[in-house]
Amino acid sequence: MSDLIQSVLKCDEKIDLRHFASELRITGQQYFLRNDIVRAFSDYCTNQEKPSDFYQSSYLGKLILYTQEIILENESLCMIIRPKIASQEIFRILEDLTVEPMTVQELLDLRDRLVNHHHPHDGDVLELDFAPFYDYSPTIRDPKNIGKGVQFLNRYLSSKLFQDQQQTLELLYEFLSLHQYNGLQLLINQRIKNRRELSQKVKEALSFVGDRPPEEPFENFRFDLQILGFEPGWGNTAGRVRDTLEILDELIDSPNDAVLESFISRIPMIFRIVLVSVHGWFGQEGVLGRPDTGGQVVYVLDQARSLEKQLQEEFNLAGLDTLGVYPKVIVLSRLIPNADGTRCNERLEKIHGTDNGWILRVPFREQNPNMTQNWISRFEIWPYLETYAIDAEKELLAEFQGKPDLIVGNYSDGNLVAFLLARRLKVTQCNIAHALEKSKYLFSNLYWQDLDSQYHFSLQFTADLIAMNAANFIVSSTYQEIVGTPDSVGQYESYACFTMPDLYHVVNGIELFSPKFNVVPPGVNEAVYFPYTRTEERIPSNRERLEELLFTLDDPAQVFGKLEDPNKQILFSVARLDRIKNLTGLAECFGRSPELQERCNLILVAGKLRTEESTDTEEISEMQKLYGIIEQYNLYNKIRWLGVRLSKSDSGELYRVIGDHKGIFVQPALFEAFGLTILEAMVSGLPTFATQFGGPLEIIQDKVNGFYINPTNLEETAEKLLDFVTKHEQNPHYWDEISQRAIERVYTTYTWKIHTTRLLSLSKIYGFWNYTSKENREDMLRYLEALFYLVYKPRAQALLAEHRDR
């Protein structure tokens, strides 16, 4: 990159650079983010009447293309350049155009100076650096492969492991001896005394099962195998036992990574799983659409169901179900005594559609009844989590009658609790972020001191650093959640280097190239969300009731607005009334376009209608804004705003009714980490227009099975919608083609079956890796504990004191 800067400086373009810098200076702004830079440069090119290809063909244009941030200070200009995904270079360009590379430390000091929080005379600020702890593990080289951690790890591990055949065998032998379920020995017993015997007995067992009919049940020859040294877990029939033993035999004789993966994936290692989801209203009915309760709840419940099912299938194939081995999945959430009509005040609730899936709710301790009796915003719950983890541990041990095999955290709070639990119980920890707030709120770290009274980011970001580094593996829904796109920084990437002025500097917050990262997208509940064309599975009375609710019902308690002409093309959206979900942006786009209003109706489903129903300031302000837009553009006869909380099955049918009317789904979020509503709409068969900022960019293939929109560009969004409406009018098959491809996209790529198969295989392989490499992460975990006790805990206690005074 410095070559590119040098090229700029060696030619006439240095004059442009100087001019451009002075134009930036004139604005009076000091800190420029990517959008500002691109806009300012394009204005500069226009004002200077540069040729139209200046952006692409000049060195300066290319440099600007890679520049993420510019900071002006006195006479110098600091450029933060992202030459490729997940890397950063920093330069200072002085007034005389000399260029100096800058260190991360210098950059963080500069940022502190910018907000007047740099006090070098008072000593240094705490510097956090996790890089040294990643020395223990291999790192991926090509950024393209980030997020494919397990494949990489498996290949690496295999090549290392298989260099020494004796050692491999020894490890396999030890590993296979470990497995038990409630005192029932699995896989091999003490009759196989060492690695040599393992290899030999596998061959004997193979010849024994090879002589039996493949379909013969395992019970028939269980005790013959036991004498040879083999216990249950290899298969439910002679054929399946033979297949599994053959894989092991191949692993012993001619090991390779694919064989290792298929063998480990078959071994019954995971029986009990905890999914931690603390904040929000966690329930199965009447909770969606409330503040802090959205996709995460849907995701965790569907995941729990699917994990149980997948494990049952696995145990069945392994021949364990007949021996009383069954999976148990617990969603750990908080018990909210004042439950506002939900079941969140119940300790235990069975998860629908499971045999042994439960929601276990543990209350926050009575440290402050005013707070702990009620729902608490996710931004406020930090002081209660440590004691919560201690109490939850006891309850989990009692419920499981033992330790879980895997702990999955969800969101910053759940991940912190997962860390505390995994540390105490010595269990594999998996992190799932759903949404990292750091990149959602612009400058949230730089101005944390101004925002802390409302958002407590100092606690949240510290919790994030602890949990993401502690986790054995991290599951993300998309690639860009980890490292963004060529233009934008990823959510995890934003933790790599940042300042929390006066609190700490993070110089290496997370190793993005670590194989701990794995992209495993979620699915959609196929029993609830399915194509509108499957009429035989739909219930006509529900369809009629929802049809009425959507188009004609005149009930001010549930609906606002009356459609003058219900036959117009429908634009449909479902979301919570969060600012970032931007339903108001969609209404504004509709309001500003007379042509859209002429040809379409807008139907919005949001949890609520009335400001009195909410205590959440953001939600109230979004409602007020929506009323304001309806009034301003006089949309009363063109819009329907449904303030209803739908049951799961109604929510599925709602999309299908929109499909019956050949409607369009629009997801206008300013940023969407993933976006489950997009999957729901697509699998229902709705042509979907979704934000280009975030996960939808990976779900949808633009113009193939859906469309991208830039929700900050209202005119362009309106044009794209109108273009579709026109094409649909001109070509009767257009809507159907997009609809069909949307359905196919979900079924081929976004199912829970694909997700849980992958998740379980990951959990086992990371478990095996931890075991065989005797991965020594104790140094890192100790460092993280210090961070927890010395930074997190005092701040959490201060917040608790504040809560007590409220």
Q: Which residues bind ligand LCN (CB under 6 A)?
A: 295-296, 299, 434-435, 477, 522, 672-676, 695
Q: How far is the CB of 588 from ligand LCN (least distance, A)?
A: 22
Angle, CA of 333, 793 and 578, to the nearest 5°: 50
- List helix spans (H) across 639-689: 648-660, 676-684
Q: How far is the CB of 664 from ligand UDP (least distance, A)?
A: 17
H-helix or E-strand containing 777? Answer: none
Q: How far is the CB of 617 from ligand UDP (least distance, A)?
A: 18
- Binding site partner of 585, from ligand UDP, ligand LCN, none, Cβ cut-off 5-8 A by kind: none
290 within 8 A of 513, measured Cβ to Cβ: no
Which residue, 81 or 654, is less far from ligand UDP as judged by CB? 654
Q: How far is the CB of 89 from ligand LCN (least distance, A)?
A: 31
Q: How far is CA 711 from CA 30, 240, 569, 577, in A?
A: 27, 53, 20, 16
What DSSP string runs through 177-196?
Answer: HT-EETTEE-SB-TTS-SHH
Angle, CA of 159, 163 and 164, to the nearest 5°: 140
What DSSP string runs through 553-588?
Answer: ---TTTEE---S-TTSEEEEEE--S-TTT-HHHHHH
- Binding site partner of 574, from ligand LCN, ligand UDP, none, Cβ cut-off 5-8 A by kind: ligand UDP
Which residue, 60 or 673, is less far from ligand LCN as judged by CB? 673
Enumerate the β-bridge partners of residue 127. 505
Which residue, 236 or 688, is less far from ligand UDP as judged by CB? 688
Which residue, 255 or 675, is less far from ligand UDP as judged by CB? 675
Which residue, 414 or 607, is less far from ligand UDP as judged by CB? 607
Which residue, 207 or 749, is less far from ligand UDP as judged by CB? 749
Which residue, 297 or 686, is less far from ligand LCN as judged by CB? 297
Residue 113's nearest CA partner among 81, 87, 78, 64 is 78
Q: How far is the CB of 300 from ligand UDP (least distance, A)?
A: 11
CA dihedral 115, 120, 121, 125 (to 10 degrees): 100
Q: How far is CA 442 from CA 105, 492, 627, 654, 688, in A?
A: 21, 15, 27, 35, 28
- Binding site partner of 619, from ligand LCN, ligand UDP, none, Cβ cut-off 5-8 A by kind: none
Structure tokens at 348: 């235990």
Q: How far is the CB of 676 from ligand UDP (least distance, A)?
A: 3
Q: State how far the Cα of 554 lies from the Cα of 547, in Å rounded to an integer.
A: 13
Which residue, 229 or 289, is less far from ligand UDP as judged by CB? 289
| Total Cβ atoms within 10 A of residue 257 | 18
Q: How far is CA 721 from CA 71, 290, 500, 718, in A?
A: 38, 29, 42, 5
Which parts of this chain interact with ligand UDP (CB under 6 A)? Answer: 288-289, 294-296, 298, 574-576, 605-607, 646, 651, 674-677, 680
In what side-by-side order are the strands of the sheet with 569-574?
559-560, 639-643, 600-606, 569-574, 664-667, 688-691, 707-709
Which residue, 489 or 676, is less far from ligand LCN as judged by CB? 676
Q: How far is the CB of 579 from ligand LCN (least distance, A)?
A: 13
Which residue, 312 or 647, is less far from ligand UDP as judged by CB? 647
Structure tokens at 707: 């469309």
Which residue, 278 or 288, is less far from ligand UDP as judged by CB? 288
Q: How far is CA 367 from CA 131, 380, 388, 454, in A?
A: 38, 14, 11, 20
- Binding site partner of 477, from ligand UDP, ligand LCN, none, Cβ cut-off 5-8 A by kind: ligand LCN
Q: State how far the Cα of 686 lies from the Cα of 743, in Å rounded to an integer.
A: 8
Secondary structure of residue 496 in the 3-state scheme: coil
Q: Which residues of 674-692 are buried (b: 16+ CB within 10 A; e: fewer)?
A: bbbbbbbbbbbbbbbbbbb
499 within 8 A of 443, measured Cβ to Cβ: no
Q: State how far the Cα of 724 lies from the Cα of 708, in Å rounded to an integer.
A: 12
- Binding site partner of 289, from ligand UDP, ligand LCN, none, Cβ cut-off 5-8 A by kind: ligand UDP
- Binding site partner of 576, from ligand LCN, ligand UDP, none, Cβ cut-off 5-8 A by kind: ligand UDP
Do β-strands 76-81 and 89-93 pair in parallel, antiparallel, or remain unpaired? antiparallel
- Binding site partner of 82, from ligand LCN, ligand UDP, none, Cβ cut-off 5-8 A by kind: none
Q: State how far the Cα of 678 lies from the Cα of 295, in Å rounded to an integer.
A: 11
Which residue, 575 or 587, is less far from ligand UDP as judged by CB? 575
Q: How far is the CB of 409 from ligand LCN (least distance, A)?
A: 13
Which residue, 480 or 601, is less far from ligand LCN as judged by CB? 480
Q: State how far the Cα of 469 lies from the Cα of 102, in Å rounded to an integer.
A: 26
Which residue, 158 or 439, is less far from ligand LCN as judged by CB? 439
Residue 587's nearest CA partner among 606, 567, 568, 614 is 606
Here the contacts of 780-786 (C-beta below 8 Å, separation 24 or greater) are 780/130, 780/133, 780/469, 780/470, 781/423, 781/470, 783/130, 783/133, 784/419, 784/465, 784/466, 784/469, 784/470, 785/423
Which residue, 303 or 677, is less far from ligand UDP as judged by CB? 677
Q: How far is the CB of 291 from ligand LCN (least distance, A)?
A: 13
Q: How far is the CB of 575 from ligand UDP (least distance, A)?
A: 6
Q: State how far the Cα of 268 lies from the Cα of 319, in Å rounded to an integer.
A: 10
Which residue, 171 or 654, is less far from ligand UDP as judged by CB? 654
Q: How far is the CB of 403 from ligand LCN (least distance, A)?
A: 27
Question: Which residue number is nearest to ligand UDP in terms of Cβ?
Answer: 294
Structure tokens at 710: 């830039």
Q: How far is the CB of 79 from ligand UDP (least distance, A)?
A: 34
Q: How far is the CB of 231 from ligand UDP (least distance, A)?
A: 43
127 within 8 A of 505, measured Cβ to Cβ: yes
Burial label, 541 (beta-carbon count in 10 A; 0-12, 13-18, 19+):
exposed
Q: What is the DSSP letter of 148?
A: B
Q: How far is the CB of 640 from ligand LCN (least distance, A)?
A: 25
Q: How far is the CB of 621 from ligand UDP (least distance, A)?
A: 17
Q: How far is the CB of 647 from ligand UDP (least distance, A)?
A: 9
